Amino acid sequence: MRALTSGAVGVMAREADAGTVRSVLSAAASGRSLLPADVVRALTSLPRSPQAGHVPTEIEISWIRLLAQGFTVARLAAHAGYSERMMFRDLRAVYERWGVANRTEAIVHARGNGWI
């Protein structure tokens, strides 16, 4: 879990054999991720819920709407007049307030609530 929160895209046990190491590295190199089953179970059991009483602002909804239209974070940042780094921080805060993990979940959440 610590490796993933630090940015890793794949993890394996310290005592992994050479075949497992090759598989994890190969998956990462091709843009995929391999995770041990216990890590997947831990990730999917983490409670995520919107902040109590949070009502999304118009700006939050407009950002998610633009992401849904295909804007990259860099383009959204330029549109909003922010640095890309600041935009990533602000979007992360929106995701936390909404109880979602990423932009895809935010888009689905917004559509499900009729916001976009």
Q: pLDDT per residue over 21-74, tens digit each?
A: 899 889 888 888 888 887 777 766 655 666 666 788 999 999 999 999 999 999
**Strand intervals (E) in the chain:** none
Q: Judge whether 22 lies within some domain.
A: yes
| Encoded tokens for 90 | 């602000």
Evaluate if residue 5 carries a pLDDT over 90.
Answer: no
Expressed as residue numbers, the domain containing 20 is 2-44
Q: Judge whether 53 lies within some domain.
A: no
Overall domain count for the chain: 2
**Do 72 and 63 contact (CB within 8 A), yes or no?**
no
Q: Judge whether 50 lies within some domain.
A: no
Q: Would you state the pLDDT for residue 45?
A: 63
DSSP 15-78: T--HHHHHHHHHHHHTT-----HHHHHHHHTS---PPTT----HHHHHHHHHHHTT--HHHHHH
Q: Judge whether 52 lies within some domain.
A: no
Distances 26 to 2, 32, 34 between C-alpha atoms, Å? 21, 8, 10
pLDDT confidence band for 9 (50 / 70 / 90): confident
Q: Would you state the pLDDT for residue 49?
A: 60
- For the whole prediction, is pTM greater than 0.75? no
37 and 62 both lie in a single domain: no
Q: Would you state the pLDDT for residue 25?
A: 87
Q: Judge whether 37 lies within some domain.
A: yes
Q: Judge whether 88 lies within some domain.
A: yes
38 and 73 both lie in a single domain: no
More confident position, 93 or 6: 93
